[in-house]
A and B are shown apart, each in its own frame.
Chain A
Amino acid sequence: MMRFLLLFSRQGKLRLQKWFTPIPEREKKKIVRDMTTMVLARKPRSCNFLHWKDLKIVYKRYASLYFCCGLDAEENELIALEMLHRYVELLDKYFGNVCELDIIFNFEKAYFILDEFLLGGEIQETSKQVVSRAIEASDMLQEVRCCPVGTDLRSVFPSS
């Protein structure tokens, strides 16, 4: 299973953190520090796989953001790379040409999307369309409940 997923910038600022096992707050901070130090120190065309304690670390850089996950030793690193890529694709589809600022200002959406893609450290849905449709439906549910009575809902629904 995946133990954690972190997104951080090139300056080491954390943009998203998802933990799939219970870890004390202090240790979380330490892990984040270790990951950012290790990953940011890597040269540009390095291998995307690292070893840290008993975990496999897989990371990939997308523009100004590093996507970094910690996996159990029996996981397949190559498919983990594909997993990270799939998440980026989902973000991209949702935000339209996603960039770091999208994730900063809409971090809760990034989490919602992640929670439709992974569950308990495992992939829950392998189809891009199904995940995207679920997010849209949830968003609609959220907005319908938020609008004051009488609003023309057509102005609220996103054009999908």
Chain B
Amino acid sequence: MVMNISMSCSTRAMSPSVRLQEMIRVIRGARTQGEERGVIQRECAAIRAQFRQADNGTRSHNLAKLLYVHMLGYPAHFGQMECVRLIASPRYNEKRVGYLGAMMLLDEKQDASLLITNSIKNDLSHNSQYVQSLALCTLACMGSAEMCRDLAPEIDRLLRASNSYIKKKAALCAVHIVRKVPDLGELFTPAARSLLCEKNHGVLHGAVVLITELCERNPDTLEQFRKVVPELVQIMKGLVMSGYSPEHNVAGISDPFLQVRILRLLRILGRNNDTASDAMNDLLAQVATNTDSSKTAGSAVLYETVLTVMDIKSESGLRVLAVNILGRFLLNNDRNIRYISMTSLQKIVQTDHNAVQRHRGTIVDCLKDQDASVKRRALELSLALVSAVNIRSLMKELLLFLSSCPPELRAHTTSGIFNAAERYAPSQRWHIDTILHVLTTAGGDVRDETVPNLIQLITTATELHCYTVHKLYRALITDISVQSLVQVACWCIGEYGDLLLRGECEETEPVQVTEDDVLDALETVLQSHMSSPATRGFALTATMKLSTRITHNVDRIRSIVSIYGSCIDVELQQRAVEYNALFKKYDHMRAAVLERMPVIDKSSPGHTNGESAGGIKELEQTKLTQEVVLPKDPGNQVCDLLDLLGGSGEPVPSSGLSHTVPGPATSTSGGDLLDLLGGLDVSPAPPSVKVYEKNGVTLKLQTDSQTDTGMTITLTATNSTDGDITSLTLQAAVPKSVQLQMKAPSGDVIPARGLGLVTQTVLLNNPNKVSLKMRVRVCYSSQGAVCQDTVQIDSFPSPAW
């Protein structure tokens, strides 16, 4: 049998692992999975047999074979005890394989691992440093907490007394021990301190890692080690300024590994501490300026330097230098460097926003990079850099990116774009255009709330109704596959179809559209298999609405509606039946029911209002309708929130527009006019507290619900005078870290003599758990006079449950 083993293997004359390599060759020669399994089963059986025999000099080979088999994914637990035995052997080659086996097959969860504790303890004091090394390596790899506690004093001894080969390993072993048993950190602190005086790079590196670990776990130790900052600075200086040292040189940098660890330790020591930060300022500037970053090693050092500069209390000049380094990295040809530059910029974009803005152009260019990781980083950063100033140009880039971005990033991109548009839209038309653009490009990847949000936005942009419906009609006749877009288009056409048919539009070129064209479009949606049930609902309702907006083709609508009265989709069927009733029995109400919607109040989606006149009428069959209360003038916009609690920076943002309009309940995602008021909750009255009483006006406060970080309260206003109280407005202010959201009030008129009340719900979000206080300003007109008062609420009643 010819053993042709060595390809480009070592040229050792006599290789002791002949049998191992032979086995590997045979296994690799197996042509199928089954054949391989057969070979391995045979080999394992042989190995097992060998393990049971007495010592015959082949034990280490057999274990090595088993370890190979284990790496292929086959079970090898029967080798665990063999590892224990081999570790206890006096022969070095057996110990070596035994320890290797222990690291591969045993972990702290196996019982067998405890059995090697004694061997390790003995080997730590062995007279051969290579045996000591095996023990140290194994302890650092898989030592359990118990083993660590047991052997810690031994490690400490080795830290102080041994040669550098052992010291460096003992240091990292100590790191492992501290990770497993943090309390033992105190034991190693003195030794760690003295190791810094060593010249050997391996020991120094180990010492720095150990000190880092100790400082991260114990603030007192951190305080202690701040004193060594000057020493660390000296060591770094030595490395940076030293000439070429062949032993540690990597691409012109002297021991970049050690430099990076020292910089990291300096970061921890300098954080939140002016003195320590000052002491390292010059060094950091020196490293930042002198390090050659043409190769990865230098860039790695620069990268760590930048991270340190940004994290400590550095001078502004140094910070600018650091950000500029990141900017330079952005232009680097190496994709890795661009990537880490962006991750670093992401960390500082909030704190050093202006500095990062300067590099916006390059960041935006990275959106076009081929690499998916780079693209993702560039997207995150671009979204973080959006501001009122750059919104137009940046949005162009983002929309361009959206059209070609990888599928896994689309959802994130669309929601990022919507957020940015909402915060910084320069005009409503721009906002609508942007959302429409996103829907056309990536309508399948947007969140569900997009449709109601867009509808709400469209209703508020009253001057743009004509423009919007034209644009959406054009989009609809082009493509009906994007459900979100189709839904919004149907809703708009239903609502503003009359503007579309009028054929004139200021903002865009009008289309000559006939009533049949519009109805054709809607029917196409209704009938298309691409339309989802929800979309068809939109289309049917829109068709119905048009019956009051068109003049000639009402019969066509009647017939569409009656056809769908027997549709198999229950939702559509119900709608069609109800609309049919609206044509027949309730035709006198049809105009009122289907008339133009009021502006939807964004802060209360689906908010059921207690003040709708008319209430619920139960009709035959199972239909429910309501009489729609005609909306009053929106009137003045209420500024919900004034910071009355002392000068503050930006006002707490109110969520969208809030009108004192007691609009009817509108469920936003269906535009369903026949929304049911049936669900009025009658909850048990929770305790309420009187916070204001004057001129016959009483304001009570009750807590609806409360959590650790927030609460919902309701303010209720009643009037005991003989005349109605009108123009009631409530404004509230809270401490700076608390967020406030006031829902729309139920009305602004409090009927006289206690015959009615006005309620307003307020949501408070208190993430910092500060003590909640609130100031409420009450304004109203009573008997012709305007009154205004402010009350302070220092404590809130407990909630009902």
Contacts and interface: CB of A to CB of B under 8 A. Distances in A.
A123 B142 CA distance: 17
A107 B173 CA distance: 24
Interface in B84-138: 91-93, 96-97, 100, 107-109, 128, 130, 133, 136-137
A77 B100 CA distance: 28
Interface string A79-112: 1011100100000001111110110111111011
B780 interface: no
Contacts of B303: 76, 78
A97 to B, nearest CB: 6
B257 A101 contact: no
Contacts of B247: 127-130
A96 B10 contact: yes
Contacts of B175: 120, 122
Contact of B256 (A50, A79, A137): A79
A92 to B, nearest CB: 11
Q: Max chain B CB contacts within 10 Å: which of A43, A82, A128, A155?
A: A82
Of residues A120, A123, A142, which shows the largest number of chain B Cβ atoms within 10 Å of its Cβ? A120
Interface stretch (B370-378, B620-628, B659-667, B725-733): B370-378
Given A76-B260, A126-B248, A107 B68 contact: yes
Contacts of A94: 10
Given A17-B71, A79-B257, A108-B17, A138 B96 contact: yes
Contacts of A128: 247
A147 to B, nearest CB: 8
B149 to A, nearest CB: 16
B92 A49 contact: no
Nearest to A77: B340
Contacts of A146: 16, 93
B755 interface: no
Contact of B140 (A77, A119, A138): A119
Contacts of B7: 99, 101-102, 105
B169 A119 contact: yes
Nearest to A130: B202
B275 to A, nearest CB: 24
Given A47-B335, A146-B93, A123 B205 contact: yes
Given A46-B371, A120-B141, A95 B108 contact: no
Nearest to B375: A47
Contact of B109 (A22, A29, A145): A22
Contacts of A43: 370-371
Interface string B748-780: 000000000000000000000000000000000
A158 interface: yes
Contacts of B699: none
Given A45-B370, A124-B205, A142-B96, A82 B296 contact: yes
B646 to A, nearest CB: 40
B300 A78 contact: yes
A34 interface: no
Contacts of A109: 10
Interface in A39-73: 43, 45-50
Contact of A124 (B206, B250, B299, B371): B206
A149 interface: no
B201 interface: yes
A115 B300 contact: no
Interface residues of B, number: 79
Contact of A119 (B130, B136, B258, B372): B136
B9 A102 contact: yes
Contact of A81 (B20, B100, B264, B296): B296
B71 A107 contact: yes
Contacts of B202: 124-127, 130
A105 B335 contact: no
Given A96-B8, A108-B67, A142 B92 contact: yes
A124 to B, nearest CB: 5
A43 B369 CA distance: 13
A78 B336 contact: yes
Given A47-B373, A105-B5, A120-B175, A78 B16 contact: no
A14 B67 CA distance: 13
Nearest to A119: B172
- Which of A22, A123, A124, A137 has the most CB atoms of chain B within a 10 A radius of its CB? A124
A120 B140 CA distance: 5
A121 B349 CA distance: 32
B24 A141 contact: no
A141 B128 CA distance: 10
Contacts of A81: 296, 300, 336
Given A24-B109, A101-B8, A129-B247, A120 B173 contact: yes
A114 B713 CA distance: 63
Contacts of A99: 7-8
Given A24-B109, A122-B209, A126-B255, A143 B130 contact: no
A122 B340 contact: no
A49 B339 contact: yes
A108 B336 contact: no
B73 A29 contact: yes
Contacts of A115: 137
B389 interface: no
Nearest to A95: B10
A146 B94 CA distance: 10
A126 B165 CA distance: 12
A49 B247 CA distance: 29
A156 B258 contact: no
7 contacts: A15-B71, A45-B370, A78-B299, A95-B8, A102-B9, A105-B25, A107-B71
Given A22-B109, A47-B339, A119-B172, 5 more contacts: A49-B336, A79-B260, A105-B7, A106-B10, A122-B206
Interface of B: 5-14, 16-17, 20-21, 24-25, 28, 64, 67-68, 71-73, 91-93, 96-97, 100, 107-109, 128, 130, 133, 136-137, 140-142, 165, 168-169, 172-173, 175-176, 201-202, 205-206, 209, 247-248, 250, 255-258, 260, 264, 296-297, 299-300, 303-304, 307, 335-340, 370-374
Interface of A: 14-17, 20, 22-24, 29, 43, 45-50, 74, 76-79, 81-83, 86, 94-99, 101-102, 104-109, 111-112, 115-116, 119-120, 122-130, 134, 137-138, 141-143, 145-147, 155-156, 158
List the 9 closest A-B pairs by CB distance, nearest first.
A78-B300, A120-B140, A79-B300, A22-B107, A119-B172, A120-B176, A125-B202, A142-B93, A47-B373
